[in-house]
Amino acid sequence: MRRERLLAEAAGASRIWDVLVIGGGATGLGTALDAASRGLSVVLLERFDFASETSSRSTKLVHGGVRYLKQGRLGLVRASLRERGILRQNAPGLVRPLPFIIPVHSAWQKAFYGAGLKLYEGLAGSLGLGDTEVLSAEAASRELPTLRKQGLRGGVKYWDAQFNDALLAVSLARTLAAQGGLPLNYCEATALLVREGRVFGARARDSESGDAFEIQARVIVNAAGAWTDDLRRQAEPNAAPSVRISQGAHLVVGREFLPGPGALMVPQTEDGRVLFAIPWMDRCLIGTTDTPVDQARSHPMPLPAEVAFLRREAGRYLDQPIGPENILSVFAGLRPLPSSDRARRTAGVSREHHIGVSPTGLISVTGGKWTTYRAMAEEIVDTALRIGGWPPRACGTAGLAIDVGAGERAGTGSPDDEPLHPRLPVTARQVRAAADEDMARTVEDVLARRTRCLFMDVAAALEVAPRVASLLAEALGRPLSWSEDQCRRFAQIAKNYQLVPADP
């Protein structure tokens, strides 16, 4: 997947493409891949890197949504569990089953959660991942050795799945290219093209060269996530808001806080949300919050109150308090929720999606989540076929294998496979492969998304950045000054992953 070739084909072609997708997160990549797999010609424009915003900042779970059981939304849960199973089959190297333990403190809780999660297991049908079990206090403690013992009456064990969100995004881009589509990162849609009241393309600019060009297409899909309304208003200046934004914050701490094989699931926090503490990349990931946000911004930072909340809630269930000195990294992601949902609190807004078609013919998408990205893309492309005047074409992505490449890239024993830092799983081979095969263009691309080092340990990521910059410059043919500039830029970005001093 060579960016130079893809860019030359998109910029040099004087043709009308079938579909132009704007936005390179889960929704955009899924939509572009679905369209290409149905035989449509597709260009995808992403202004930064693939999954550089919300889609790399998830809780790293593929799940049916246990919280929707209590709301009686069994159809939504069943559909999500089906998509969980499909994704595991299509990308087995990036998705793995994970056991979760809900601690219980009364016989009533044990019966209630046991029955509910048996139903959850049943809704998955043949795509289930494991048996639900009601555990004694001793068995729950074996699964979660650091679980607080005071008042513990047992637990309920159920199964969901964990995945690598950023690598799945890159894998979708790779699969899209193999299907004949053109995924372009660092290529911004600067303006929509409108003629006689209809959108027919976009002006694009390559962020590296500054070169501008036009992409014309029969159908334009707006998959800009939290920035969806900004793009809509280029064609409809008076369009009503379609997105409500909320922020989900996460903490990353050492594995000693969760040394067992399972994950902790707290079904109700003090604000009515669920909380997860999960083993991730030999660390422990804790999340998440649901904080309304007035305006979208890149690299959102967890608020001090969010960090304090996560520490406090985790401390209610884990026997070790989490101090500021234990936090290796913090991160937050923005949720672009449909504004049509009338729930007053964003925590009450479902993660279902909304597909809208404007009078200009622009298809805009809000809501959704990684678990259901494929089904959402299927609906979007069905809409695109109708808008474009094509006859219906069957969707085949439920059985389409995703090219996960080398996955975590097992080493061969050569010096290139030695870790570049003792606390981080990044090697020289990975850096070169990220540039040569996976369209990494910056140090951030490598340390945040092709590997997850920035999310795992921000201090260590800063220490290894100069070596990564040097290797990346060599792979991309950049001068020394570029490496130095990359290190400065990365240091600025890394501040958003560090615990702010005001946090208690």
pLDDT tens readout for residues 426-466: 999 999 999 999 999 999 999 999 999 999 999 999 999 99
| pLDDT band at residue 346 under the 50/70/90 scheme | very low
Beta strands 283-287 and 154-163 are unpaired
pLDDT value of position 413: 62
Q: Which helix (H) or strand (E) holds 80?
A: helix 74-90
**Strands, DSSP E only, in 46-122?**
61-62, 95-104
Higher local confidence (pLDDT), 157 or 235 = 157
Does residue 350 register a pLDDT over 50?
Answer: no
Residue type at 70 in one-letter notation: K
User: Burial, 2: exposed, middle or buried (Cβ in 10 Å; 0-12, 13-18, 19+)?
Assistant: exposed
Does residue 402 register a pLDDT over 70?
Answer: yes
The mean per-residue pLDDT over the stretch 6-11 comes to 95
Mind giving me the DSSP string for 216-255? EEEEEEE--GGGHHHHHHHH-TTPPP-EEEEEEEEEEEEG
Does residue 349 register a pLDDT over 60?
Answer: no
The mean per-residue pLDDT over the stretch 151-174 comes to 98
Residue type at 500 in one-letter notation: V
pLDDT value of position 484: 98
- Phi and psi dihedrals of 213, rounded to 5? -160, 170
Average pLDDT, the chain: 94
pLDDT value of position 414: 75
pLDDT value of position 415: 80
Higher local confidence (pLDDT), 246 or 500 = 246
pLDDT value of position 12: 85
